[in-house]
Amino acid sequence: MKVCIIGQGYIGLPTAILFATNNCEVIGVDVNDDLVNKLNQGKLFIEEPGLKEKLNLTMEKGKYKASIKPKKSDVFIITVPTPTNTENLSCDLSYVISACESIIPYLEKENIVIVESTIAPMSTDNYINPIFENEGFVIGKDIYLAHCPERVIPGNIIEELVNNDRIIGGVTSECSDKAADVYKIFVKGNIMKTEAKTAEMSKCMENTFRDVNIALANELTKVCSKIGINALDVIELSNKHPRVNIHSPGPGVGGHCLALDPYFIYAQVPEEAKLIKLARDTNNSMPQFVVDKTKEIIKNIESPKIAILGITYKGNTDDTRESPALEIVNLLKNEDFKIDIYDPHVENKKYHNFEKTIKDAAICIVLSDHDEFKNLDFNLMTKAMKKPIIFDTKNIVKNKDKEKIEIINYGNL
């Protein structure tokens, strides 16, 4: 089977590689020619376990090639970003639309077109379908169109692409059947067929569920901090109840999914989606909460330097998209604090010097849950810092040498 995947980012590239390792002939298309050149040299631009080895293997076998142009194929899969539309906070479909338009010259009867990008409910029916119908294609007869949202977590993409259950939202039932056959090539999880609009809403709702639950955990932290209760103990104890799963509080919610997708629902029905919006507002308020608490902690220290540990939105990845850590850095800078940043996972080498970052710092704020931060060198920190205080917003630092260093987290704020 020939597969053409438009968009070679976090989802498109691993998906392309999985089709290629399963004997498909794959073209990975991207508008960024620098990225295309690098991929064709076997170079990766994202940190993702197992991906590089698989890319190199498929290239050796001649099953994968990157290109700036699509090619005639049996299947076209669209995995381009859907940024937020600044006007109404819903999704900006312009990349999806231009990706659909870019494949039209290569489309032939019996081809299957699948949109994986996260899109607002009703986008397929209202915007994507007409692109092909206006070209004279009858959907479900000439070509088959489906929305099959990805559901994988960065850091474990390959494993989840293969093993997670998959929602297949066809425009017609024939479209669902055809798209399901495509995913059966490498998916070991269940393949669940439904309508396109149900698939769209399910995807948005999965991320909204998580966002709302994280907001509840963040609110609990604020409440407990105000009245002097250990929020982390409350969470641990409550979660022993068989039907309770309070999520983890943190410095805010980042990434390109949880922080954006809930707005795709809210934008359409603001009167009905009040809880969804409130959860977004609560999570958006966390960077300021971290800044306020930091100021309280260091209020008696003269001209304090602040060391930031981690700027990615997620541990053990290099992904800084919508990262609350970046907002915290900006808020602190706006208040004229001297800031130094350490993050061994991001590419920029200026963030790779731990000793320099903590030297003379009045506080280290842990903002990403990288493994490196689980066992920090307390001896070094005690010697190098002006005042050895760690503010651990991710509850990740192990408190073993507690007497040497003061560790503040969301339990003892």
Q: Which residues make up the interface to ligand SAJ (CB under 6 A)?
A: 118, 150-154, 206-207, 210, 214, 247-248, 250, 253-255, 257-258, 313-314
Q: Which residue is closest to ligand SAJ by CB?
A: 257
What minimum distance in Å lies between the beta carbon of 26 and ligand SAJ? 21
What minimum distance in Å lies between the beta carbon of 367 and ligand SAJ? 9
CB neighbour list of residue 308: distance below 8 Å, 6 or more residues apart: 325, 328, 329, 339, 340, 341, 342, 343, 357, 364, 365, 367
**What distance in Å separates the CA atoms of residue 373 and residue 358, rounded to the nearest whole number?**
13
Measure the CA dihedral 271/272/275/276, to 10°. Answer: -90
Residue 117, classed as helix, strand or coil, is coil
CB of 311 or CB of 389, closer to ligand SAJ: 311
What minimum distance in Å lies between the beta carbon of 142 and ligand SAJ? 31
CB of 254 or CB of 287, closer to ligand SAJ: 254
Ramachandran quadrant class, 395 (left: phi over 0; alpha: psi -120 to 50; beta: rest): left
What minimum distance in Å lies between the beta carbon of 266 and ligand SAJ? 16
The separation between CA 279 and the C-alpha centre of its own chain, rounded to angstroms, equals 18
What minimum distance in Å lies between the beta carbon of 202 and ligand SAJ? 10
**Phi, psi at 152, each rounded to 5°:** -95, 160
Active site residues: 203, 257
What minimum distance in Å lies between the beta carbon of 281 and ligand SAJ? 15
For residue 408, what are the β-bridge partners?
A: 391
Ramachandran quadrant class, 57 (left: phi over 0; alpha: psi -120 to 50; beta: rest): alpha
Measure the CA dihedral 389/393/399/403, to 10°. Answer: 20
CB of 63 or CB of 370, closer to ligand SAJ: 370
CB of 220 or CB of 408, closer to ligand SAJ: 220
Joined together, the tokens standing for residue 123 give: 């986008």
CB of 144 or CB of 313, closer to ligand SAJ: 313
- The helix or strand, by DSSP H or E, that contains position 95, with its residue range, turns out to be helix 94-103
**What distance in Å separates the CA atoms of residue 61 and residue 56, rounded to the nearest whole number?**
9
CB of 70 or CB of 255, closer to ligand SAJ: 255
